[in-house]
Amino acid sequence: MKRYTYRRIILTYPDTLSPREAALFAKRQEHALKRVEKLLRLRHQNDVRIHIKITPFREHYVNKSTIYYSFPIFEFQQIIENNALLAAGELHELTHYTMQEFVPTKILRPDPPGFFLIEGLAIAVDAMVDRQEASFLHLLAKGAFLLGALKPMLQIQPSDPPFLRYEITGSFTLFLIERYGIDKLKNLYKFVSDDAFSTRVTQILRKSLFELEKDWLIFLEGYPEKYARYIASASLDLNGLYELPIMRYGNRWFRQGLIGHMSKSVYSQMSSLYKVYSALGRADTLCRFSQLYELFQNMLNIYYASLQSWQEAAESFREAQQILSSQHANCNRILALLKRAYSLFRKVGDIVMMRQVRLYVAFVLLKMKGESLEGDHSKALGFLREASDFLDR
């Protein structure tokens, strides 16, 4: 492992990455850290330790005093060449890291009463940067309420489905920040492991958690009911597949995948137009809103018709991942499963998952030949081309 320091970022990275890649990565982390500090109105007193791992899987998490990023070498190189890192990974984990320094007490007990605030704040920071993300969180929360899928915040725990742990807690926390300010939420964060957490909520925000959740649901009434119901229904249908390692961030993959890349701009326009209509009651706005809603409904019909194929593809992908992580991996079997998954993902038009399968095929081909990239971009691109040729045969 090598080490690179840039201002407050202390980066540990494997030999497979070049010093240039490490430097670009560290600079983006410093930029993201400043953004998180500005949003949270906090300043890091200590250096930030980051450890990069190269594995077939993508995952980001904070463990004690270190942030871990894991992703395939091919993906990392594409990220560096595009000078862009996953915003969700940067801001989300840096928020956890910052709040751990701000609250030196042990907050990571297995079942903290204020768990919703730990994940909710990290999700809310993403939404504070991207207002489109905020609209999605609130639409999904309203839809989940309409479908009877919500739980009281104090009952949400790490073992719950991802949409509850992330999107729902994020919507509620973002609502609290916008109504009461980030400083009061930071004060409340100090007591997430306190057995009397609900009492602390009342003391700091002057309302009980029950009253705050009621206010939140009233706030969500401003979002279109039918559209919210569709969004939540689609998310809940896919919930059983969220635990795939490559899909660790729950609904985030759903938004970028099968229906998300088609619908994100549509629901953003719908939300804006609906607010204009509600405020002004203009007939032409209502007509445009109806057209957008019909467009999205057609998308959802395509989505539901394709869902079975998508689930079959995901199961093949999951089986390939499981075999690859075993001690004696059968590479030919893995390639066969990945090829089937790729074919099905292509059938339903999920470009994001097609790309992930291609990265896995390239990784398996590299493993079969026993070679190492060692930061060699041209060799990495060669394996990607070989993977594409294999999948298109």
Window from 36-40, 74-78, 138-142, 233-237 with minimum mean pLDDT: 233-237
Global confidence as pTM: 0.74
Average pLDDT estimate for 267-274: 49
Helix (H) or strand (E) run with residue 328 in it:
none
- Is the pLDDT at 5 greater than 90? The verdict is yes
Average pLDDT estimate for 190-218: 95
| The pLDDT value given to residue 85 | 46
Domain with CATH 3.30.2010.30 in the chain: 2-102
Confidence of residue 367 (pLDDT cuts 50, 70, 90): confident
Three-state DSSP class for residue 15: coil
If one compares 232 and 38, the residue with the highest pLDDT of the two is 38
User: What does the mean pLDDT of the chain come to?
Assistant: 78
Confidence of residue 76 (pLDDT cuts 50, 70, 90): confident
- Is the pLDDT at 255 greater than 70? The verdict is no
d(CA 275, CA 318): 41
DSSP conformation letters of 234-272 = HHHHTGGGTTSGGGTTTHHHHHHTTTHHHHHHHHHHHHH
d(CA 329, CA 156): 37
The per-residue pLDDT for range 321-346, each reduced to its tens digit, is 888 878 788 999 999 999 999 998 88
DSSP 224: -
- Is the pLDDT at 49 greater than 90? The verdict is yes
d(CA 194, CA 262): 43
| The pLDDT value given to residue 184 | 97
Give the highest mean pLDDT range of 123-127, 216-220, 273-277, 278-282. Answer: 216-220
Residue 59 in contact with residue 36, Cβ under 8 Å? no
Average pLDDT estimate for 358-383: 80
If one compares 329 and 96, the residue with the highest pLDDT of the two is 96
| The pLDDT value given to residue 203 | 97
d(CA 129, CA 123): 10
- Is the pLDDT at 261 greater than 90? The verdict is no
Average pLDDT estimate for 377-390: 84
Q: What percent of the chain has pLDDT over 70?
A: 71
d(CA 252, CA 130): 13
| The pLDDT value given to residue 274 | 47
Confidence of residue 44 (pLDDT cuts 50, 70, 90): confident
Average pLDDT estimate for 123-132: 85
Residue 220 in contact with residue 141, Cβ under 8 Å? yes
Three-state DSSP class for residue 393: coil
| The pLDDT value given to residue 244 | 29
Average pLDDT estimate for 15-31: 87
Which CATH code, of 3.40.630.20, 2.60.40.350, 3.30.2010.30, 3.40.50.2300, is assigned to 2-102? 3.30.2010.30
If one compares 225 and 332, the residue with the highest pLDDT of the two is 332
| The pLDDT value given to residue 87 | 42
Nearest to 112 by CA among 149, 146, 156, 152: 156
User: How many C-beta atoms lie closer than 10 Å to residue 48's C-beta?
Assistant: 22
Residue 313 in contact with residue 288, Cβ under 8 Å? no
| The pLDDT value given to residue 281 | 47
Average pLDDT estimate for 173-185: 97
- Is the pLDDT at 229 greater than 80? The verdict is no
Give the highest mean pLDDT range of 234-238, 308-312, 366-370. Answer: 366-370
